[in-house]
Amino acid sequence: MRNRYRGQRSPTTGLLIGLLVTLAAVLIYAAYITMQFSGLRKLQTEMVDRNRKDSLQLLRIQNDLNSTGLAMRDMLDTAGPYPLTSWSGQFDRLRQDLDAAIRLEEQFAGMQRTADQRNYLGKSLSQFWDAVDRMFASAANGDEARARDQIRNTLQARQAALSTAVSRLLVENNEGEQQAAERVTQIYNRVQKQLYWFLAAILVAILLTSFYMMRSNRRMFAQLGELSEQRSDLAQKLITTQESTLRHISRELHDEFGQVLTAIGSLLGRAANQLADTSPLRKDVQEVREIAQSTLDSIRGLSQALHPVLLEEAGLVAALDWYIPTVAHQTGLTLHYEKPRDTFAVETASGVHVYRVLQEALNNVNRHSGTKEAWIRLSFLPSALLLEIEDHGKGFVPQKGNTGIGLVAMRERAELIGGKLEILSPASGGTLVRLSVPREKAESHDGKN
């Protein structure tokens, strides 16, 4: 049987492999999600935020170009009270702001602008300011008519071309932001979809692991149940064999040796009667006869201790009435016995097990409790037979892996008769051994209680 179960594999290896696979999957997916969100953060930082800042600078450039256009429109008004040269200060301020905006825009645009786009904007703006310088030079020389012609024919056209180019760049930025938003949405959708797949895979792994664990547990519990049944059968056979052996030895001692010693005592008595009262031999024969009688009494006591013949002949209560004073005399224990008032007939096999539990409990009191006093209570309840053995000693402290064979035997005997054995620690200290046997398991119909 041991070889049969030795071939069964433990589920620990499979569960450990499943756990490692699950942890590896979680770590890989966590790394993947981290990489995806890192790319998403980079996309938002490098594209969305850059586009937004670049668009702000383009709007600043467009606003300056619009201001320049409005100024040129006012300069073409010949009814104005100021000469054209009076506008040079405003154009200088616009020029400085445009140059600053262009430099920032180039930083934010980065790789989004082609070389032609960057060169076109810078070159067009440079040509525009060169034309503005020539216009103000003509106005400074007193030729305002020529200066106004330059505004109408050159500057306004260049300003319109620059505004168109800036507007086109703004449109490209808006399109870039839309594309970035679409890419962000795609990333979120992809991560969400993969998250569902991952959760489904984890759920499948959990289900497989759970099925494997349930199958392994069912197999182990089936094996434990089988082993428990075999253990109970073995314990029952051992206890039955033990009782049979003790009964045989008890009867041999009682019948064979008892009869021999009884015969010896009888012969010695007749021999003593044939001797004179003053004969020294008569005294010796009488002494030998007393020794034989003492040996006979010891053998009868030993026979009764090995197997309670009295229990079979007179019942459990009578056997305990004899046994409790006897063990008190032999061990020096002070035993307080509360006899039952109402009784019912106890089946012999059940009575033997109750008797053995009492024997083992009193043996433990004598050996391990550290006290010499105990209380025994036997009760015949309407639904059960109850036996309690209580002492106020140092108590019962079971140690792991060091359960005594006596306690195991007591539990086995309780199980064999369908009873329940409890080892309790009363509030007053010590140990309380309680055996409860259902009445239908303990009761007999032969009239012996």
pLDDT tens-digit profile of 4-26? 545 556 666 766 776 787 778 77
Q: What confidence tens digit (pLDDT) does each residue in 317-338 have?
A: 888 898 899 889 888 999 999 9
pTM score of the predicted model = 0.50
The CA-to-CA distance between both ends of the chain, in Å, stands at 42
pLDDT value at position 196? 84
Task: Please give the residue that has the higher pLDDT: either 25 or 152.
Answer: 152
Written as one string, the DSSP assignment of 23-46 is HHHHHHHHHHHHHHHHHHHHHIII
Q: pLDDT at position 1, please?
A: 46
Instruction: Give kind and range of the element (H or E) at residue 375.
Output: strand 373-380
The strand pair at 384-391 and 334-338 is best described as unpaired
Q: Which CATH architecture has domain 310-442?
A: 2-Layer Sandwich (3.30)
CB-count exposure of residue 163 (10 Å: 0-12, 13-18, 19+)? middle
What's the topology of domain 2-214? Four Helix Bundle (Hemerythrin (Met), subunit A) (1.20.120)
Residue 276: the pLDDT is 73
pLDDT of 221 above 80:
yes
**Local structure of 390: helix, strand or coil:** strand
Query: pLDDT at position 44, please?
Result: 64
- In the chain, CATH 3.30.565.10 covers 310-442
The 10s digit of each residue's pLDDT in 261-304 is 777 878 877 777 777 777 778 777 778 878 878 887 777 667 66
What does the pLDDT read at residue 10? 62
Q: Among candidates 67, 72, 176, 65, which has minimal Cα distance to 121?
A: 65
Note the pLDDT of residue 434.
94
Residue with tokens 């050996």: 367
Range 302-325 average pLDDT: 80
pLDDT tens-digit map of 413-437 = 888 888 999 999 888 888 999 999 9
Greater confidence (177 vs 305) lies with 177
The pLDDT assigned to 447 comes to: 53
CA 220 to chain centre: 20
Domain with CATH 1.20.120.1730 in the chain: 2-214
pLDDT of residue 380: 92
